[in-house]
Amino acid sequence: MSQFGRALRERQPDPAGRRWLFVPYDQLSGEIGPLSREDPQNIGIVLVETLWKSARRPYHKQKLALVLANLRHFALEQAARGMAIRYVAASGPYRAALEPLIAALGPLRVMEPAERELRADLAPLVASGGLLVIPHEGWLTTAEDFRTSQRSGPPWRMDAFYRHVRRRTGLLMRQGKPVGGKFSFDPDNRLPWRGDPPAPRPPRFRPDAITEEVGDLVDNLFARHPGRLDLAALPATRQDAKALWTWASRECLPVFGPYEDAMSSRSSGLFHTRISALLNLHRLLPSRVVADVEGMTLPLASQEGFIRQILGWREFVRHVHLATDGFRSLPGSAPPIAEHPGDGGATPSVLGASEPLPPVFWGTPSGLACLDRVVADVWAEGYSHHITRLMVLANLATLLDVSPRELTDWFWVAYTDAYDWVVEPNVLGMGTYAVGDLMTTKPYVSGAAYLARMSDYCAICAFHPKTTCPITSLYWAFLARHEVRLRDNPRLRLPLQALRKRPTARREEDARTFQHGRAALAAGRTLSVKGADQARPRKDRHGTD
Ligand SMILES: Cc1cc2nc3c(=O)[nH]c(=O)nc-3n(C[C@H](O)[C@H](O)[C@H](O)COP(=O)(O)OP(=O)(O)OC[C@H]3O[C@@H](n4cnc5c(N)ncnc54)[C@H](O)[C@@H]3O)c2cc1C
């Protein structure tokens, strides 16, 4: 018997006479729902660990270990509180694992799953009355908040939603007015980081026998999955979650705001808190985190900036996902569904981008230091912070016309915090403009100047941001290719005016840089300044052409 099996048996109380609840893998909190208020002696919890889920996509090893280690520790923690636990090891869908239990124990309650994929799996059990769905108490806002805030949408806007929920909840409000006189201090939060203050080192944890066992399982069963397994970087217990939050509160939050948009080759997270994976599993509760931050003495730009991420963006993207049924149902269209056993997700692409994801995303060097550095961080940690996701990974993929669905699936497997409700809106909606202006006002694309200003990647790159970096040409080529589609966008008026003034020869060069850069990266070749990559028919100043 496994260490975990033994430990659970030792703690297991008498399961007789209990009312049973199914707790999905991402609802691992005893502080919400029935677990927070009913007598532990009366409750039984069903937990399911299934190879079917783990093998459904080539998830990063660290992600598999994070979910399994937290699921197992949660089982032990709740058993220690007196809850009876039925821990099911399965190899098929959740539905198949639950059916016999429902037959034996009677109907199970479940808080509404966050993931659409899990809701779809469980739908027949809900329809037959075997599963009784109750509200998910982990969210801070309701569908009504979303509807009320977006009177005329779609398109939907996060800032209107955020202002509405600030008013409704009274968070960072004094006498009906936002603290500091404005709802957002975003414009104050755009400093590059030059090394001072030093970036905090992410906390390390001491893996116990349960976590070690999960590590062995992942190494054995999922050896072919990508990514580095680093158990000491993995918060697995309730105490670890608290320790991570204490670290984030002390080391990150005081300077969270000013450096929020900065990027560095010396730190994958800078002053970002790294709590998303635990928030999404509910090992840390959004309500607790937001309340803590409201109560802290912090510079307002950091305090408000952080609260906006959780109360605003995190909740908003979830509502967009719900309102569009995972982007299957968009205003005036219903994008095709990708092929995958079961359902491969919606494939919107208003710009018509459909190129395969280039091998650089799986670790083949591209020669672009920004892209190579962030990809390396992701495979080492299953994490990178928001701006690297948006302005390096999604930016480059968008400039190369990569299929938004392929990019989404990559993010889904590569990041430890990715679940459909959050990764799809962030990649399809925000990162790639695949659904147009449905939830953002413009495509988030940039040339090398932005990257040079906000990061130190260019200092370790063979290309020069002002002369040889191909990203600038890729940016102009993107605007030129999609000019007709984008020309009515007021936020792109200035760049499109600049494009029209760009000399024809430069525009032709941009187009060639795009053609040859895309071909080289698709073939897994490294771009170089001197023209060594085979995709380049001649040497020129943009390096990929
Ligand atoms: C292309 C792309 C893909 C993304 N994929 C995911 C994903 O799969 N899972 C995920 O949780 N976040 C995703 N995000 C949002 C954001 O990048 C991460 O939540 C954040 O980087 C997590 O790191 P952190 O905890 O250090 O965040 P911090 O910067 O410390 O922010 C605090 C918290 O705010 C929340 N948050 C901030 N922005 C967002 C957002 N846009 N959407 C949802 N929550 C947000 C997160 O819970 C985060 O933990 C994505 C963003 C982009 C641009």
Tens of pLDDT, residues 505-520: 999 999 999 999 999 9
Residue of 276, 280, 387, 421 to test ligand 1 pocket, by largest number of atoms within 8 Å of CB: 276
Burial label for 282, CB within 10 Å (0-12, 13-18, 19+), is buried
Establish whether residue 310 lines the binding site of ligand 1, counting it when its CB lies within 6 angstroms of any ligand atom.
Answer: yes
Quick check: 451 pLDDT over 60?
yes
How far away, in angstroms, is 429 Cα from ligand 1 center?
A: 13
H runs (alpha helix) in 482-524: 483-486, 493-501, 504-522
Give the count of beta carbons closer than 10 Å to the beta carbon of residue 486: 22
Task: Using the predicted structure, report yes or no on whether residue 539 has a pLDDT greater than 60.
Answer: no
State how far the Cα of 212 lies from the Cα of 68, in Å rounded to an integer. Answer: 11
- Nearest C-alpha to atom 19 of ligand 1 is from which residue? 276
User: Given a cut of 70, is residue 538 above it in pLDDT?
Assistant: no
Q: How far is the CA of 158 from the centre of ligand 1 (A)?
A: 14
- For residue range 230-267, what is the model confidence (pLDDT) as tens digits? 999 999 999 999 999 999 999 999 999 999 999 999 99
Q: How many helices (H) and strands (E) does the chain have?
A: 24, 7
Handedness of CA 113, 114, 117, 120 (dihedral sign): positive
Output the pLDDT for position 102.
Answer: 98
Is the CB–ligand 1 distance for residue 418 below 6 Å?
yes
Q: What is the pLDDT of residues 152-178, one digit of tens each?
A: 789 999 999 999 999 999 999 999 999
**What pLDDT was estimated at residue 533?**
58
Q: Which of 378, 388, 426 to mutate to test the pocket of ligand 1 (most atoms within 8 A of CB)?
A: 426
CA of 276 to the centre of ligand 1 (A): 6
How large a percentage of the chain has pLDDT more than 90?
94
Q: What's the CA gap between 443 and 304, in Å, rounded?
A: 25
Ligand 1 in reach of 423 Cβ (< 6 A): yes
Q: Kindly report the pTM of this predicted structure.
A: 0.96
Kindly state the average pLDDT of the residues 297-314: 97
pLDDT at residue 111, rounded to an integer: 98
**Pocket lining: 148 vs ligand 1, CB cutoff 6 Å:** no
Three-state SS string over 360-385 comes to HHHCCCCCCHHHHHHHHHHHHHCCCC
Q: What is the pLDDT of residue 531?
A: 59
Average pLDDT, the chain: 95
Local structure of residue 43 (DSSP, 8 states) = E
**pLDDT at residue 535 greater than cutoff 80:** no
407 lines ligand 1 (CB under 6 A): no
Q: Is 535 in the pocket of ligand 1 (CB under 6 A)?
A: no
What spacing in Å lies between the alpha carbon of 423 and ligand 1's midpoint?
9
Closest CA to 430 of 414, 415, 449, 408: 408
Which of the listed residues 26, 302, 309 should we mutate to test ligand 1's pocket, taking the one with most ligand atoms within 8 A of CB?
A: 309
**pLDDT bracket for residue 308 (50, 70, 90):** very high
Distance 94 CA to ligand 1 centre (A): 27
Please give the share of the chain, as a percent, with pLDDT higher than 70: 97
What 3-state class would DSSP assign to 328? coil
Please identify, by atom number, the ligand 1 atom nearest to the C-alpha of residue 385.
21
Averaged over 475-492, what is the pLDDT? 97
pLDDT at 219 over 90: yes
Mean predicted confidence (pLDDT) in 202-214: 98
247 touches ligand 1 (CB under 6 Å): no
Q: Which residue owns the Cα nearest ligand 1 atom 49?
A: 276
Is residue 272 in contact with ligand 1, taking CB distance under 6 Å? yes
Say if ligand 1 is within 6 A of residue 516 CB.
no
> Does 385 contact ligand 1 (Cβ within 6 A)?
yes
Closest C-alpha to ligand 1, atom 16 = 386
Predicted confidence (pLDDT) per residue in 7-36, tens digit:
999 999 999 999 999 999 999 999 999 999
Q: Is the dihedral of CA 323, 291, 419, 135 positive or negative?
A: negative
With a 6 Å cutoff on the Cβ, whether 273 touches ligand 1 is: yes
> Could you read off the pLDDT of 41-95 as tens digits, one per residue?
999 999 999 999 999 999 999 999 999 999 999 999 999 999 999 999 999 999 9
What's the pLDDT tens digit per position in 359-416? 999 999 999 999 999 999 999 999 999 999 999 999 999 999 999 999 999 999 999 9
Question: What atom of ligand 1 comes closest to residue 412's alpha carbon?
Answer: 8
Q: Is the CB of 414 under 6 A from ligand 1?
A: no
User: Are the C-beta atoms of 509 and 545 separated by less than 8 Å?
Assistant: yes
CA distances from 379 to 63, 227, 335, 523 (A): 11, 4, 30, 21
Confidence (pLDDT) at 340: 77
**∠334-335-337 over CA atoms, to 5°?**
115
Report the DSSP pairing between strands 177-178 and 173-174.
Answer: antiparallel
Residue nearest to atom 41 of ligand 1 (CA): 313
| 497 C-alpha to ligand 1 centroid (Å) | 33
Look at ligand 1, atom 20, and give the residue with the nearest C-alpha: 386
Both tokens assigned to 192: 């590059």
Segment 310-318 shows an average pLDDT of 98
- The mean pLDDT value for 437-442 works out to 96
For the Cβ of 386 lying below 6 angstroms from any atom of ligand 1, the answer is yes
Query: Ligand 1 centroid vs 228 CA: distance in angstroms?
Result: 21
Quote the ligand 1 centre to 386 CA distance (angstroms).
Answer: 6
**Average pLDDT of the segment spanning 423-447:** 97
Q: Which residue has the tokens 């730190």?
A: 267
**How confident is residue 545, by pLDDT bands cut at 50, 70 and 90?**
very low
Q: In 186-268, where does DSSP find H-type helix?
A: 209-221, 238-247
Residue 389: CB within 6 Å of ligand 1?
yes
411 within ligand 1 shell (Cβ under 6 A): yes
